[in-house]
Structure 1
Amino acid sequence: MTVQDTSVPAADAPIVVSQGPLAIVGGGAVDAALLVELAERGVTLVGADGGGDAIGDAGLTPAAIIGDLDSLQDRAGWAQRTRVIHIPEQVTTDFQKALYSTQAPVTLALGMTGKRLDHTLAALSAVLQFAPSRKLLLVDEVDVALAVVGPIRFTAGPRERVSIHPLLPIRFEQSTGLFYPMDGLTLEPGGLIGTSNEGTGGVVEIIPADDTPWLLILGKERLWDLMAL
């Protein structure tokens, strides 16, 4: 069992530093074809404990495997092929361990959702903690969720689904390009949320009142667009 804590241990220095995009892979639902595409595009792959096996199942070798290693199969075999970094502390999840042990301009998280609801909720908690300090995207079978701090501007097609999800209570000053405007709305978990909004076609701009992290959720086909923002 992992006991959650608001404090996150920090490594003296990142163990894995990527100059380009990095993908942290967990043991949830993972699209093997997407992993192959990421590797072909030069994205660094890191396994969060059992996520190393998901990378191996796709025929790939991660740059490192990080975690408490209670789920990794054949730890000794992996140690002969890549860096296996054992972090035994039980204050954080393996996703958090991988986050505080890595550094990259853009970080994707795959296999952090699906299969187990508690893992999905833990992933959202980790995103909330790390969003102010790094660009994070959660990727599942259908969607990609970008953790946003502050305003954002992007394009969306007519009637394209654009979901805005609050991680904490957050007020939005204004928006343009959305079928349901966000002007003056306060969203919060357990209250009003912004799922299943739609683009009107063209530029979408969303401006919150402060720097509280929130999620912008688009279809998975928009992954590379969101990475470029």
Structure 2
Amino acid sequence: MNYYPLVKTVAEPEAVILADGSFPVHPLPLSFLYRCRRIVCCDGAAEALIQWGREPEAIVGDGDSLNLALRERYAALIHRETEQETNDLSKAFRYCLKRGWKKLFILGATGKREDHTMGNISLLSDYQAQADVQMLTDYGLFTPVCGDAEFECFPGQQVSVFNRDCRSLSGEGLVYPLSAFTNWWQGTLNEALAGTFKIYADKRLWVYRVYGAEKENFPNVEK
């Protein structure tokens, strides 16, 4: 059974992938963006990162979302992939894998366009087979799961469980029982009872834990 601690207690990721959705404002994702040595930007996300005060390790994509001045200034960091079968997030993910970085946090993958948000979250299940990957938003943490898993939490923490392709799904330590839901809304608005909860599953799902600012000791971010 895999164990997933609260994200603020885990070791630093090997790299952060910054997608071109809404730039983070919550102190927890920002703290990783500030501290991580390697930030791989999905194309246009580089501009927001540079404006925030950091420079990327690499900029991955076709380069069409960067203005000319940035394309020229950071030409050595741009890794162009023009194929259209996958999005820039998957291209950045492949870039990390090629360099052996397999503990990854994804930031900036939600917000702006809802179709991009749904697509990016769904990709977590594909990435999970190749890396230890989690997605941090301004509100909580998405973790892709395949099989049985145990999660660190706090009493009252808000939890949602989204079934991808499980035929058998149950839980322990949550207010409401789990089943192999056929619609995503059915797994939302659950709640942790104690310091951990467990999920028993035969296939893939996503677990979302809301940060809960009153329970967390979020770091200050000073650039």
Normalised to the residue count of structure 2, the TM-score between the two structures is: 0.79
Distance (Å, rounded) in 1 between the aligned partners of 2:146 and 2:187: 16
Contact 1:140 1:220 in 2 (8 A): no
Match of 2:74 in 1: 78
Contact 1:35 1:55 in 2 (8 A): no
* Alignment counterpart, residue 214 of structure 1, candidates 205, 214, 219: 205
| 1:159 match: secondary structure | coil
Kindly tell me: are residues 36 and 177 of structure 1, through their superposed partners in 2, closer, same or farther at Cα, counting changes over 3 Å? closer
Deviations 1:89-124 (A, max 9, x none): 111100111111212232111111111012112212
Q: Does 1:202 align with 2:185?
A: no
State the 1:221 CA deviation: 6.0
Match of 1:13 in 2: none
* Alignment counterpart, residue 162 of structure 2, candidates 127, 141, 165: 165
* Alignment counterpart, residue 30 of structure 1, candidates 19, 23, 39: 23
Normalised to the residue count of structure 1, the TM-score between the two structures is: 0.77
Kindly tell me: are residues 117 and 20 of structure 1, through their superposed partners in 2, closer, same or farther at Cα, counting changes over 3 Å? closer
Q: Report 1:127-138 matches (<5 A).
A: 127-138=124-135
Match of 2:5 in 1: none
Q: Choose 91-100 or 136-145, whichever is displaced more.
A: 136-145
Structure 1: state its 5+ residue gaps: 1-18, 225-229
Deviations 1:50-88 (A, max 9, x none): 111121121001110001111122211122xx5210111
Percent of aligned positions that are identical: 26
Q: Report 1:95-106 matches (<5 A).
A: 95-103=89-97, 104-106=101-103
Kindly tell me: are residues 67 and 34 of structure 1, through their superposed partners in 2, closer, same or farther at Cα, counting changes over 3 Å? farther
* Alignment counterpart, residue 120 of structure 1, candidates 114, 117, 120: 117
Root-mean-square deviation (CA, aligned residues, Å) is 2.4
Distance (Å, rounded) in 2 between the aligned partners of 1:36 and 1:160: 21
Contact 2:16 2:33 in 1 (8 A): no
* Greater share of residues in helix: 2
Distance (Å, rounded) in 2 between the aligned partners of 1:69 and 1:171: 43
Higher relative contact order (CA 8 A, sep 6+): 2
State the 1:36 CA deviation: 5.2
Kindly tell me: are residues 35 and 191 of structure 1, through their superposed partners in 2, closer, same or farther at Cα, counting changes over 3 Å? closer
Match of 1:12 in 2: none
Match of 1:44 in 2: 38
Q: Does 1:21 align with 2:14?
A: yes
